[in-house]
C-alpha cells in the first residue's frame, strides 16, 4: 500500500484508510464483534495503517472494538478518534447537541485512551464545531493534551474555512475530515484550496457516497430500518432514480479500466490531491479488498477530464444529510 502524509507534521498513513463506524452503528445493526476484529486485522495485513473511529459511534462500542482489534499491532498503525458531542462519559447517554468545553474535551481524551488501549491518540478530531465554545479554546485544550503526550495531532471535522484558520493559529491542524466524493463535491470550491495553503491533510468520509457509488444500490433497494440512509434526502427512491445517472457514468469508466465502480470512485479521490486519504468503511472482507484495490487504479488526465466533463452536466437530487444534521455542521 502506498503511503501519504497528512499535514506538515509528518503524520504518514496508508493512502486508503478504514472507516470503522459501520461496524457498530449507522448502517444497520452492529456486526459480529469477532468478525470485525478479524476484518480490522485483515485490513492491516493488506496494508492499511490508518483507522478511524469516534466516541459517538455506539456510543463507545466502536472505540472499544478498534482498541481491542489493534492492540497487538498498535505500534504499526495510527488511530483517529473524535470528541465534541454531548455524551455522558459514564452512561453513554447522548444529549441533544455538542460539547467542546475544554474540561469535557480533556475528559473525553482520557476515556478514549482507555477504550482504545493506547498511551496517546494519534489524531484527535473535533467531531462537530460547538457554537457555544470559541474554537480557540478548543484548539487550546487539544494543545495542552499534545503537550502532555496524550494526543499527537489535532483535527477538525465538518468545519468551515474561517474556523479552520482560527484553530490552526492556536494549534496546527494536521487533518480535516468532511464528506467528499463524486456524489458531493462542495469541498472543491473553498476547502481544498485553503487546506493546500495551510498545509493540512484531508480525510474524506463517505468517499463512496454512503455506498451509492458502488453501483449496488438503486431506487428499489430496501435499507434496514436502523440504517441512517432511510432519512437522508438523497436516498429517497425518487432521488436515487435520478442520481443513477452518476452511477452509470462511473460504471462506464470502470468497464474501460477493468475496475469496479467503487475503485473508480476512490481512485478519482486519490487523484485530486496527494494529501487526500479517503476512509471507506465496510463490514465485508471482499469489499475491503475491492476498496484497497483502488490504490493501483491509475486514472489518466484524459480519464479525469472525461469524468469531470460528464459529471458537470448532471443535476443530482437531494441533500447529503437531513436538515437537522446539516445544521450541526460549520460549513
* 127-179: pLDDT as tens digits: 999 999 999 999 999 999 999 999 999 999 999 999 999 999 999 999 999 99
| pLDDT given at position 181 | 98
Per-residue pLDDT averaged across 81-100, rounded? 97
Pairing assessment for the beta strands 3-6 and 11-14 based on DSSP bridges: antiparallel
Known active-site residue 57: yes
Q: What gap in Å lies between CA 12 and CA 88, rounded to an integer?
A: 33
Pairing assessment for the beta strands 94-98 and 121-126 based on DSSP bridges: unpaired
Mean pLDDT over the full length of the chain: 97
Q: What gap in Å lies between CA 294 and CA 15, rounded to an integer?
A: 10
Domains of the chain: 3-326 (3.20.20.100)
- Quickly list DSSP for 77-134: -EEEEEE-EEE-TTT--EEEEE---HHHHHHHHHHHHHHHT-SSEEEEEESS--TTS-
Per-residue pLDDT averaged across 221-239, rounded? 97
Residue in this structure with the C-alpha cell 434526502, named with its chain if needed: 233
State the pLDDT confidence band at 286, using cuts at 50, 70 and 90.
very high
Look at phi and psi of residue 158 and say left if phi exceeds 0, alpha if psi is from -120 to 50, else beta.
left
| pLDDT given at position 193 | 98
Q: What gap in Å lies between CA 181 and CA 268, rounded to an integer?
A: 8
| pLDDT given at position 280 | 98
Amino acid at each position: 500500500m502506498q503511503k501519504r502524509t497528512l499535514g506538515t507534521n509528518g503524520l504518514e498513513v496508508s493512502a486508503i484508510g478504514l472507516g470503522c463506524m459501520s461496524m457498530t452503528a449507522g448502517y444497520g445493526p452492529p456486526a459480529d464483534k469477532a468478525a470485525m476484529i478479524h476484518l480490522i486485522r485483515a485490513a492491516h495485513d493488506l496494508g492499511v495503517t490508518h483507522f478511524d473511529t469516534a466516541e459517538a459511534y455506539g456510543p463507545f462500542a466502536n472505540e472499544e472494538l478498534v482498541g481491542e482489534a489493534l492492540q497487538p499491532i498498535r505500534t504499526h498503525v495510527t488511530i483517529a478518534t473524535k470528541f465534541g458531542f454531548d455524551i455522558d462519559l459514564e452512561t453513554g447517554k447522548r444529549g441533544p447537541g455538542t460539547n467542546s468545553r475544554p474540561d469535557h474535551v480533556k475528559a473525553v481524551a482520557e476515556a478514549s485512551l482507555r477504550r482504545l488501549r493506547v498511551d496517546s491518540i494519534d489524531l484527535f478530531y473535533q467531531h462537530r464545531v460547538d457554537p457555544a465554545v470559541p474554537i480557540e479554546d478548543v484548539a487550546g485544550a487539544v494543545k495542552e493534551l499534545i503537550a502532555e503526550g496524550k494526543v499527537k495531532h489535532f483535527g477538525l471535522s465538518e468545519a468551515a474555512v474561517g474556523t479552520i484558520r482560527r484553530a490552526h493559529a492556536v494549534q496546527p491542524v494536521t487533518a480535516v475530515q468532511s464528506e467528499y466524493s463524486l456524489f458531493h463535491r462542495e469541498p472543491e470550491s473553498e476547502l481544498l484550496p485553503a487546506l493546500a495553503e495551510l498545509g493540512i491533510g484531508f480525510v474524506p468520509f463517505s468517499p463512496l457516497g454512503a455506498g451509492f457509488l458502488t453501483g449496488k444500490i438503486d431506487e428499489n433497494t430496501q435499507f434496514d430500518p436502523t440504517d441512517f440512509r432511510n432519512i437522508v434526502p438523497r436516498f429517497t427512491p425518487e432521488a436515487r432514480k435520478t442520481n443513477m445517472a452518476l452511477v452509470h457514468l462511473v460504471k462506464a469508466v470502470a468497464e474501460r479500466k477493468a475496475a469496479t465502480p467503487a475503485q473508480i470512485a476512490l481512485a478519482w479521490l486519490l487523484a485530486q490531491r496527494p494529501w487526500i486519504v479517503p476512509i471507506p468503511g465496510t463490514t465485508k472482507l471482499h469489499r475491503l479488498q475491492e476498496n484497497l484495490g483502488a490504490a493501483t487504479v491509475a486514472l489518466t488526465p484524459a480519464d479525469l477530464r472525461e469524468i469531470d466533463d460528464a459529471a458537470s452536466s448532471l443535476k443530482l437530487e437531494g441533500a447529503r444529510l437531513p436538515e437537522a444534521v446539516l445544521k450541526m455542521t460549520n460549513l
